[in-house]
Amino acid sequence: MDFLTALKISSSGLSAQRLRMDVISSNLANVNTTRTAEGGPYRRRDVVFASQPVTTSFGEVLDSMEDRHLQQVEVVDIVVDGGNPKMVYDPRHPDANAQGYVGMPDINVIEEMVNVLSATRSYEANVAVVNATKSMVNKTLEIGR
């Protein structure tokens, strides 16, 4: 058990939340995108978090308590929303169909903004843990001075 494990776990949380933020900003940036490489309007994406056991070189050898209970977080998948596009009546739009409707991404901006806040708070919590770890390590280094 060492502090590097704590830092490793916190950094896994940081990078997972950062990736989540990337996906949310992609959703927000493409709120009006009607053309994509795979055809049709942009589809909303979401991250899937899963806890994974922390593997340290020493931990792989010893089947100790921390192996079973220390779980870092990882983004295991980015799923694409399978819902139908939102049909908006706009006959002058270049991508409008014969009836004058355009398929727009079904993205709720408010929902995305709430996710932005949630990701920010979780990121900040992990930063706070990193700072706490750092202060504890510094305190340890002061022993014997």
Name which of 130, 132, 8, 134 is nearest 70 in CA terms.
Answer: 8
Stretch that binds other proteins, among 22-30, 46-54, 85-93, 97-105 (CB under 8 A): 46-54
Q: What is the DSSP string of 86-113?
A: EEEE-TTSTT--TTSEEEE----HHHHH
Among residues 4 and 109, whose Cβ is nearest to other proteins?
A: 4
- Contact with other proteins (CB under 8 A): which of 12, 21, 24, 44? 12
Site for other proteins contains 43 (CB under 8 A): no
How many residues bind other proteins (CB under 8 A)? The answer is 39
Letter for the amino acid at 75?
V
Among residues 38 and 142, whose Cβ is nearest to other proteins?
A: 142
Query: Is the CB of residue 79 less than 8 Å from the CB of residue 45?
Result: yes
Among residues 108 and 140, whose Cβ is nearest to other proteins?
A: 140
Stretch that binds other proteins, among 33-41, 86-94, 96-104, 120-128 (CB under 8 A): 120-128
Q: d(Cα 7, Cα 130) in Å, to the nearest integer? A: 6
Q: Widest CA span of the chain, in angstroms? A: 80
Q: Where are the alpha helices (DSSP H) in 1-145?
A: 3-29, 57-61, 65-69, 109-142
Binding footprint of other proteins on the chain (CB under 8 A): 1-3, 5-6, 9-10, 12-13, 16-17, 20, 49-51, 65-66, 69-73, 118, 121-122, 125-126, 128-129, 132-133, 135-136, 139-140, 142-145
